Amino acid sequence: MSAVPRWALLSAGGAPLFLIGGWTLAQAAQAEGFDPVRQTISALAATGADHRWIMTIGLAGLGLCHLTTALGLVTAAPAGRGLLALGGLSTLILVAFPQNPAGGSTTHAVAAGVAFGALAVWPALAVSRRATPSPDREHLHSPAPVRSGALAATALLLGLVGWFAVEFFTDGAWIGLTERLAAAAEAGVPLAAVLLSRRWPRPSGPG
């Protein structure tokens, strides 16, 4: 039996569905059209956007999924789980403080920055240095390959978030595209982590 519960798999799988499904439906609902390459995800949930409730639900679902996954991913180190939860909480905060086309929202911008940062860094801190049981329960599995994969995931995520930041602060032509690439990747990594973690059995004793 896996140490990671099945409901964590559901929440991890729900994160990209809420995010990508939310922006897909919300974009289609915009009466005056929407340019996903140039415009941000938050614009779909901003005050005054057509049917803003669609993306609001999508982002809220994303945040709740991250919080739930952090709770269930018991094989991850506490620091990594904490950052994953912080990413989910920050997502809920930015939902509570939507963009205002008239002047923006400082709280929304800060919460978005914290969410992007936390969700990019958490994989690197989620791998314990302790050896873990192998699937056959008879050998110890070195965490080194898993740690290398986690570090590679964080490097990729930071690269995507950095690209988005450059586009955002320079008012580039690909703001929306780079944000979607970074957000989608960050939504998918927890699912990969849960799938990997569920390969390892629940420990049979202390330690």
Does the structure show a pLDDT above 60 at 64?
yes
Check residue 204 and give its pLDDT: 46
Reply yes or no on whether the pLDDT at 144 is more than 80.
no
Give the pLDDT confidence score for residue 199 in this predicted structure. Answer: 72
Instruction: Please name which of 73, 203, 75, 72 lies closest in space to residue 140, comparing C-alpha atoms.
Output: 203
43-65 average pLDDT score: 96
